[in-house]
Amino acid sequence: MNTVKDSLLLKDHYPDTDISVFYMDIRAFGKGFEDLYRRSKEAGVKYIRGFPGEVVEDSVTGNLLLTVENTTAGRIEQHELDMVVLSIGFVPPEEQAQVKKLLTLSQTDEGFFLESHPKLKPVDTPTRGVYLAGCAEGPKDIKDSVTQASAAAARAQIVLNAERLMVEAITALVDKEVCNGCGLCATVCPYGAILADSKTKVIAQVMEAKCAGCGTCAAECRRDAITMRHFPDAAMLAQVEAALAEDSMNKIVTFACNWCSYAGADYAGVSRMQYPPNARIIRTMCSGRVDEDFVLRAFQLGAPVVLVSGCHFADCHYINANRWTQKRVDRLWDRLERKGVRPERLQLEWISAAEGAKFALVMKEMERIRQTVTEEEIAQTRKVL
């Protein structure tokens, strides 16, 4: 839209200027942008759909000759121009990487800071107390930047005016008698909420004000020294055992993260999308909470298939916790294969809260895999695991 605005500005100051804009796609998405685009065309600006090819200098006139494929007319055209201006894309500054590391922020594939949720928390970051405004989140015009800055200021004012701040009770608790100070929990924590030093073997200490309760540390702890309040291992295993207490041969054990895949399952239900009813969903705050022992216990109890589901990589509500989910499932696949268990009986899927249709489709595929699992195969799995 900057090109459209620049063309209008040139036409206002120099009405006789002949302007041609070469493009492939125009998206006048913002409020009033379509009107700007229309006014630009009415002012005489020519919009030609097609990528410019080579640009050479005319040896006689000294002007520039631009060759372009006009995809609308279906022909190759050559335009003689006094000046060619390249409208380049907006990229984040290099210094942004330092800010990301300092504040423990997440980024999009393009390098801009990622908000906590595009609809529910558009100016919040996954790190509590840090808010976004303007082009830090992505390219914006002045109006959108001012609007977002007002929203960010309002969100910050809530924190500044509060006498006390409430945090979620779902935090990690370290058993100091079991912890050996290996420091693995501090490595996997996306918020840097755990203090530990593997060199000095200092017992891990959780800063509860920073802990968001994803549970990745508890799932990765090799000594089971970390307990997640409200989501302890005993409670999670009890749900697995209850789901498979009867007719385990026909059950699909599904671990679903609270924010995306669990909400996607709910969306599929309220939308009356048809999918197999034999799924037994176990809710976790994050897919990073799914311990390897949970999956193995399900197979030991006779589960034919197990599904681990969570947010898409770019949408993880706990910055990058689901990256550890991927690594953990990769280890499980290798372990199952070494034990002679079909790895496809364990599936990993990324499902957002808006993808109810995908959840239904995944459950149908899980049912298809379940029907291929025999009683002999389940008995052998129980024996080797």
Last residue of a domain, one of 204, 230, 256: 230
The pLDDT assigned to 296 comes to 97
The pLDDT assigned to 115 comes to 85
CA distances from 299 to 67, 189, 292, 343 (A): 64, 28, 11, 12
Please give the Cα distance from 137 to 123 (Å, whole number).
Answer: 9
For residue 253, is pLDDT > 90? yes
Q: 183 and 136 in one domain?
A: no
For residue 290, is pLDDT > 80? yes
Long-range contacts of 132-138 (CB under 8 A, 24+ apart): 135/90, 136/92, 136/96, 136/112, 137/112, 137/113, 138/108, 138/110, 138/112
Q: Read off the pLDDT band of 52 (50, 70, 90).
A: confident
What would the mean pLDDT of 271-293 be, rounded to a whole number? Answer: 95
Q: Is residue 10 part of a domain?
A: yes
Q: 306 and 280 in one domain?
A: yes
For residue 133, is pLDDT > 90? yes
Q: pTM higher than 0.85, yes or no? A: no
Q: Is residue 177 part of a domain?
A: yes
Q: Which of 207, 203, 205 is nearest to 179 (CA)?
A: 203
The pLDDT assigned to 197 comes to 79
Q: Which of 240, 245, 237, 382 is nearest to 300 (CA)?
A: 382
Last residue of a domain, one of 26, 49, 81: 81
**Residue span of the structural domain in which 292 resides:** 231-384
Q: 275 and 362 in one domain?
A: yes
CA distances from 311 to 132, 138, 188 (A): 21, 21, 17
Q: 378 and 236 in one domain?
A: yes
189: domain CATH number is 3.30.70.20
Q: Read off the pLDDT band of 32 (50, 70, 90).
A: confident
104 contacts: CB under 8 Å, gap ≥ 6: 127, 190, 191, 192, 319
Q: 173 and 153 in one domain?
A: no
The pLDDT assigned to 111 comes to 84
Percent of the chain at pLDDT above 90?
A: 60
Q: Is residue 91 part of a domain?
A: no
329: domain CATH number is 3.40.50
Q: 224 and 236 in one domain?
A: no
Q: Is residue 87 part of a domain?
A: no
Residue appearing with tokens 């994050």: 286
DSSP track, 287-349: GGG--HHHHHHHHHTT-SEEEEEE--GGG-TTTTHHHHHHHHHHHHHHHHHHTT--GGGEEEE
69: domain CATH number is 3.50.50.60
For residue 87, is pLDDT > 90? no
For residue 30, is pLDDT > 90? no
Q: 174 and 125 in one domain?
A: no
Helix (H) or strand (E) holding 90: none
Q: 176 and 157 in one domain?
A: no
Please give the Cα distance from 175 to 229 (Å, whole number).
Answer: 12
Q: Under a CB-based contact definition with an 8 Å cutoff, are residues 350 and 359 in contact?
A: no
Q: Is residue 89 part of a domain?
A: no
Question: What's the domain count of the chain?
Answer: 4
Last residue of a domain, one of 161, 186, 202: 161
- The residues pairing with 20 across neighbouring beta strands, listed in sequence order, are 46
Q: Is residue 66 part of a domain?
A: yes
Looking at mean pLDDT, say which of 25-34, 43-52, 264-273, 338-347 comes out highest.
338-347
Q: Read off the pLDDT band of 199 (50, 70, 90).
A: confident
The pLDDT assigned to 217 comes to 96
Q: 261 and 202 in one domain?
A: no
The pLDDT assigned to 119 comes to 80
CA distances from 180 to 187, 221, 225 (A): 15, 10, 9
Q: Which is higher by pLDDT, 93 or 116?
A: 93
231 contacts: CB under 8 Å, gap ≥ 6: 170, 213, 215, 284, 285, 289
Q: Is residue 307 part of a domain?
A: yes
Q: Is residue 64 part of a domain?
A: yes
Q: 56 and 18 in one domain?
A: yes
For residue 69, is pLDDT > 80? yes
Q: 249 and 126 in one domain?
A: no
Q: 352 and 327 in one domain?
A: yes
